[in-house]
Amino acid sequence: MRILHVAAEAHPLIKTGGLADVLGSLPAAQHALGHRVSVLLPGYRAVMAAAGTLEPGPTLNPPGGPSIQLLRGELSAGVELLVLDQADYFDRPGGPYGDEQGNDWPDNHLRFALLGRAGAGLCLQDPAIDVLNAHDWHAGLAPAYLEAWGVDCASCFTIHNLAYQGRFAAVQYPDTDLPGEFYRYDGLEYHGDWSFMKAGLSYSDAITTVSPSYAREILQPQAGMGLHALLNYRRRDFVGILNGVDYRVWDPSRDAVLESNYSTKSLQAKQANKKYLQQSLRMEPASDRLLVGVVSRLTTHKGLDLVPAAIEDLLASGRMQLSLLGSGDAALEASFKQLASRYSQNCAVVIGYDEIEAHRIFGGADAILIPSRFEPCGLTQMYGLRYGSLPVVRKTGGLADTVIGYKAGNPDSANGLVFNTASVTALRRVLNRAVKLYTDRDLWKGLMRNAMRADFGWDKSARAYLDLYARLIAR
Ligand code: ADP
């Protein structure tokens, strides 16, 4: 098959979250299974700097608009990279979606409409492309352009997070050059505005999301973010496929960033990473104290607002340590910084985005905390599993699909701790359980081995996407 992925992020070129990890690894897994795979990305300043040598790629001439120039390179061995060469939209300081202060770019609807036009334009110009897989709202207009231009190419839209919908005002709609009749309630109109996400959901042949549990959850009004009715309407074309992990990047036995590499056969060697983390963060180097790591965007949807109140006693009494790396919500950043200044022996907070530090936390922590209110898939619990840093998670979305909570009676299968309610009390309770469990070294080591043996590699999920594409092409 010839597969075109269209997305706003892909590791290692540009990353703000799990979307990038998926685009860095799913295409490579599909290529390894014998398919020809391309990834189309906006040419942000960071992408241009990181992509290496780029050659001139196709010039597209989509209907009703100026031509679009693409550049061509390689994302990873065998995976073609196509980059939108549009400096006035993408050669800017700041992030992919906003300026250095975090304000959205005012022309985001134009920037990402161009991404959709380019994706659909490629399929129009090259009929050998069998399927276009658009990811998240940024690529949501690609299936709409395919429909508008009558392009005979199968399309799949993947929801990585339904909370971000790319919603814009009615006056901005004519800028897309999409047909006026698409602006209706069963098209992309959305409560008087219009939405990229809704376009993707309405005009793609199939819809996927990133875990089976999240797929079930977003059919319900409580989690469906206003789009559950549309998802129910499209239920026969909608499926949850669990994300995978790129074990080329996330493997404690080979991770070059770690102080000491380790595997299930050398668990003791993990201790050196804990010590390094504690020392580098100026925490007390206590080997017998449960060190909990957090690597996350700081938002309330991740449940991190519950953490300070839930862990304060544990930090104050020296029964637990916390190493947090993240950035986002200013109030959350401030409350974690305050916690770190009060309990510096047991709490270290790094505000920012740092891939290397993230690897060190997965390597050095005993547990990884993810108390999300909702979590489409989540990757950090799977990194925690592979690094033997037991995930402590709320039972939701992909967290529920990947972590088996310890209960007396399942030491041979459990690989973490799971709690149900998003409350300070429930979080405090599960953390106290973790602290207690950690004192039983043999039991804890058994759970670490279970965790490290869990296999969430891409192979199975990449095949699930391919099976779905094959069904769409055969229709
Ligand atoms: P989301 O996409 O909702 O942010 P995921 O768990 O799916 O959550 O993916 C998050 C990805 O971003 C993981 O690879 C995680 O390690 C990484 N990450 C999150 N915050 C940071 C940070 N501050 N520094 C480095 N990596 C981070």
Ligand 1 and 199: CB distance under 6 A = no
Residue 69: φ, ψ to 5°: -100, 130
DSSP designation for 297: E
Residue 393, strand partner residues: 370, 418
Ligand 1 and 146: CB distance under 6 A = no
129 and 2 Cβ atoms separated by less than 8 Å? yes
Distance CA 87, CA 323 (A): 39
CA of 353 to the centre of ligand 1 (A): 9
pLDDT tens sequence across 4-26: 999 999 999 999 999 999 999 99
How do beta strands 417-419 and 390-394 pair?
Answer: parallel
Distance CA 198, CA 136 (A): 10
Q: Is the peptide bond before 62 cis (omega within 30 degrees of 0)?
A: no
CA angle 348, 350, 354 (to 5 degrees): 135
Ligand 1 and 294: CB distance under 6 A = no
Residue 135, strand partner residues: 158
pLDDT at 218 (0 to 100): 98
35, 309, 361, 378 from 458: Cα distances, Å: 15, 37, 23, 14
SS3 annotation, 213-252: HHHHHCCCCCCCCCCHHHHHHCHHHEEECCCCECCCCCCC
365, 375, 399, 413 from 434: Cα distances, Å: 13, 21, 17, 17
pLDDT at 42 (0 to 100): 98
Closest-CA residue, ligand 1 atom 9, reads: 18
What is the residue-averaged pLDDT of the chain?
97
Residue 363: φ, ψ to 5°: -75, -35
Mean pLDDT check: name the lowest of 62-66, 380-384, 452-456.
62-66
Ligand 1 and 375: CB distance under 6 A = no
pLDDT tier for residue 359 given thresholds of 50, 70 and 90: very high
The H-or-E segment that residue 2 falls in is strand 2-6
pLDDT at 338 (0 to 100): 98
Ligand 1 and 328: CB distance under 6 A = no
Residue 65 pLDDT more than 90? no
Q: Which of 32, 58, 30, 54 is nearest to 43 (CA)?
A: 54
CA of 325 to the centre of ligand 1 (A): 10
pLDDT tier for residue 102 given thresholds of 50, 70 and 90: confident
Q: For the chain, what percent of residues have pLDDT higher than 70? A: 100
Please report, for the chain, how many H helices and E strands are present, in that order: 17, 18
Residue 118: φ, ψ to 5°: -65, -40
pLDDT at 251 (0 to 100): 98
pLDDT at 64 (0 to 100): 86
Report residue 354 as tokens: 């740092």
DSSP-H helix ranges across 56-139: 87-90, 108-125
Q: For the chain, what percent of residues have pLDDT higher than 90? A: 99
pLDDT tens sequence across 237-275: 999 999 999 999 999 999 999 999 999 999 999 999 999
Best residue for ligand 1 mutational test, from 21, 247, 357, 374 (most atoms within 8 Å of Cβ): 21
Ligand 1, residue 383: give the atom nearest the CA.
16
Q: Within 13 Å and on the Cβ side, how many CA atoms surround 173?
A: 22
Q: What is the mean pLDDT of residues 409-425?
A: 97
226 and 198 Cβ atoms separated by less than 8 Å? no
Residue 238, strand partner residues: 207
DSSP designation for 103: P
Number of CB atoms found within 10 A of residue 13's CB: 23
pLDDT at 46 (0 to 100): 97
pLDDT at 324 (0 to 100): 98
Distance CA 288, CA 201 (A): 50
Ligand 1 and 259: CB distance under 6 A = no
Q: Which of 109, 110, 131 is nearest to 120 (CA)?
A: 131
CA of 265 to the centre of ligand 1 (A): 28
Say how far residue 13 (Cα) sits from the centre of its chain: 15
CA of 48 to the centre of ligand 1 (A): 22
Residue 370, Cβ density class (10 Å: 0-12 exposed, 13-18 middle, ≥19 buried)? buried
Residue 138 pLDDT more than 90? yes
40 and 82 Cβ atoms separated by less than 8 Å? yes
Ligand 1, residue 377: give the atom nearest the CA.
7
CA of 326 to the centre of ligand 1 (A): 8
Number of CB atoms found within 10 A of residue 76's CB: 18
CA of 125 to the centre of ligand 1 (A): 36
Q: What is the mean pLDDT of residues 30-58?
A: 97
Q: Which of 419, 448, 402, 407 is nearest to 307 (CA)?
A: 419
CA of 157 to the centre of ligand 1 (A): 22
468: Cβ contacts below 8 Å, ≥ 6 apart: 156, 206, 208, 239, 241
Ligand 1 and 378: CB distance under 6 A = yes
DSSP designation for 156: E
